[in-house]
Copies of this chain bind each other. A is one copy, B any other.
Amino acid sequence: MPPNENRTPTTSDVPPSPPRAVVVVTGSELVRGDRRDLNGPFLARELLSRGLDPARIVIVGDAPEELEAALRLGIDADLCVVSGGLGPTHDDRTVETLARVLGRDLVADPTLEGEIESVSRGHAERLGRPYADFAPGVRKQASLPEGAHSLGLAGTAPGFAIQSSGATFVVLPGPPSELRRLWAKALASDVLRRLLARAHQPARRALRFYGVSESAVARALEEAGGDGDGVEATVCAREFEIHVDLVVREAGGPRADSIVAALRKRLGEFLFSEDERTIAEIVLELCRERGLTLATAESCTGGLVAARLTTVPGSSDVFRGCVVAYADDVKTRELGVPTDVLAAHGAVSAETAAAMAAGVRERLDTDVGVSDTGLAGPGGGTPEKPVGLVYLHAAGPGGELASDFSMPAGRETVRARAAVAALHLVRRLLSQSHDGSV
């Protein structure tokens, strides 16, 4: 039985549903879980943003029958994007398998062969090996299914697009950077442009919350009318924030507006952004707007907050530096935390966090300092101070804010949450300063 027998056909007498796309990712290391697939999610986001419906991502290894079965399922879709299996060796079977699935012959393209030969002769020379070693691979890689349009080379592998009866196949190399480069070329190709012309690019709306549970946001969304009528909504807990994303098709605009208005009204105190910037980007922009510099003093996060801030290009005009004070005497030497504060309250305390934030502001000569100290575990917990307890402190020209949390979780979860909490604490401090209401 064909797997999509229930699917409404896209014909002119039914309301247009978005073209259906499937992604086939090949790679033994991916299907074994040895490496995480980046291409499937990238392609899915790309397809969605262009008005296609990413219906399925299939990951297969290099077993021929698995690859063939996965490609056969692509025939029922409007678009099938395939990643990987284009190399010169016998394990790279995507091209020959697709030709068989489409009932096309493999045809060597002399122009393509010339291009691949020229790249391969360069390889041979650099490696000091005879070109004859490469020639069979060159012939193999220059052979595409009849009717395919080359999208250009990635190394020695050509990406290509080919139209079957109903489906368009786009075949791209596996390395993520190469895949992205040739995907841009695929988008510009005639075959794909014809397909994209049938799609209506949906609008996207983003709402970002912090400090509220996923279930509370999901409930508010449901009470605002929920999914449907041209609006697809996802509520997603991501890095301790709750992200609501609306994909808005044709007539869904007014419903999307009313959902957004309802969520703003109901959860406004937790809503920190209506765009896709990261909290690190938001903090850096808040500082930049006010002409403030920033430093971090980190214990349990061990440099994670600084690492997130410096991920952002241009962060150096705001961010001056960081002290990771893992050992207690480094807290004293480098951040000026008084030894009697450490003795009286312990390294994991609100008092130490406050002294660290003050210390890093002074030592690194910045306007704003933010600190954390906590027990990331797995060892070191006590009944009074359990693993997962973290204190945070932010200090700026307009005032100070302290925060803490305690969560029974693994080391990396505690650290990641502390890093996010530190950034949100700076955001709250600067937003409040702005209102003059700290």
A positions within 8 Å CB-CB of B: 1, 3-7, 28-37, 40-46, 48, 54-61, 63-66, 68-70, 72-73, 91, 227, 232, 234, 236, 238, 243, 245, 247, 296, 298, 301-307, 309-311, 313-316, 319-327, 329-330, 333-334, 363-365, 376-379, 411-412, 415
Contacts and interface: CB of A to CB of B under 8 A. Distances in A.
Contact of A61 (B32, B37, B55, B411): B55
Contact of A319 (B73, B306, B326): B326
A429 to B, nearest CB: 21
A105 B247 CA distance: 35
Given A4-B65, A34-B45, 8 more contacts: A5-B65, A33-B43, A298-B303, A303-B307, A304-B307, A310-B324, A313-B377, A320-B327
Contact of A238 (B35, B307, B309): B35
Count identical subunits in the complex. Answer: 2
Contacts of A334: 321, 323, 334, 363-364
A307 B302 contact: yes
A415 B311 contact: yes
Contact of A321 (B48, B59, B236, B324): B324
Contacts of A72: 1, 3
**Chain A: interface secondary structure?**
mixed
A255 to B, nearest CB: 17
A34 B45 CA distance: 7
Contacts of A363: 333-334
Contact of A56 (B37, B66, B365): B66
A302 B313 contact: no
Count chain B CB atoms within 10 A of each CB in A303, A305, A376 and give the residue with the most.
A303
B326 A330 contact: no
Contact of A316 (B55, B243, B327): B327
A73 B4 CA distance: 12
A275 to B, nearest CB: 15
A225 to B, nearest CB: 14
A238 B29 CA distance: 11
A171 to B, nearest CB: 19
Contact of A234 (B29, B40, B55): B29
B321 A7 contact: no
A191 B230 CA distance: 43
B33 A311 contact: no
Given A314-B379, A378-B313, A54 B32 contact: yes
A3 B1 CA distance: 10
Contacts of A61: 54-55
Contacts of A323: 321-324, 334
Contacts of A41: 33, 36-37
Contacts of A232: 28
Contacts of A46: 33
Contact of A33 (B42, B73, B238, B326): B42
A204 to B, nearest CB: 10
A31 B44 contact: yes
